[in-house]
Amino acid sequence: MSDDRTAALIRAALEARRRAYAPYSNFTVGAALETASGEVFTGCNVENASYGLTICAECFAVGAAVAAGHHQFTRVVVASDAKAGPCGACRQVLAEFGDLEILMVDADGEIERRRRLDDLLPEQFKLPGR
């Protein structure tokens, strides 16, 4: 994973963030998910007046990747003003596809933190036998 690939992934997350729909919280988030084959899928948060129906950027990106036939991911960049990491629900969704690297970047694309998903969600839910 070269620095050029990381920079491209960060740019993709920042661009996705610019397309976020967040009229209620004004908290915009973009995500760029890299597949094992090197393809990148992006997502942005999409808020709803019924807050529970809001779609997080990370889940949006996972859905796009899965819809395109991908199930193996290496890393995800999450871009926000708050340098936020994935929420608990997004961590669980990402965990369905294994341990991946998570890069949390600020609005300028500076990497604030790098973590493994297993470190952020050490006891994720798994169905028995899986």
Query: Active site residue: 15, 34, 47, 58, which one?
Result: 58
Query: What is the residue-level pLDDT of the chain in tens, covering all 130 positions?
Result: 459 999 999 999 999 999 999 999 999 999 999 999 999 999 999 999 999 999 999 999 999 999 999 999 999 999 999 889 999 999 999 999 999 999 999 999 999 999 999 999 999 998 887 7
| Per-residue pLDDT, 31 | 98
Q: Is residue 97 part of a domain?
A: yes
Backbone angles phi, psi at 78, to 5 degrees: -115, 120
Q: Is residue 16 part of a domain?
A: yes
Q: Is residue 126 part of a domain?
A: no
CA of 117: how far to CAs of 34, 38, 101, 112, 114, in Å?
A: 14, 19, 6, 16, 10
Indicate which CATH number applies to the domain containing 8. Answer: 3.40.140.10
Q: Is residue 53 part of a domain?
A: yes
Q: Is residue 130 part of a domain?
A: no
What's the domain range around 100?
3-119
Question: In the annotation, is 58 catalytic?
Answer: yes
Q: What is the pTM of this model?
A: 0.94
CA of 122: how far to CAs of 32, 35, 74, 114, 116, in Å?
A: 22, 22, 18, 15, 10
Q: Is residue 76 part of a domain?
A: yes
Q: Is residue 8 part of a domain?
A: yes
Q: How many domains does the chain have?
A: 1
Q: Is residue 9 part of a domain?
A: yes
Cβ contact 55:42 at 8 Å: no
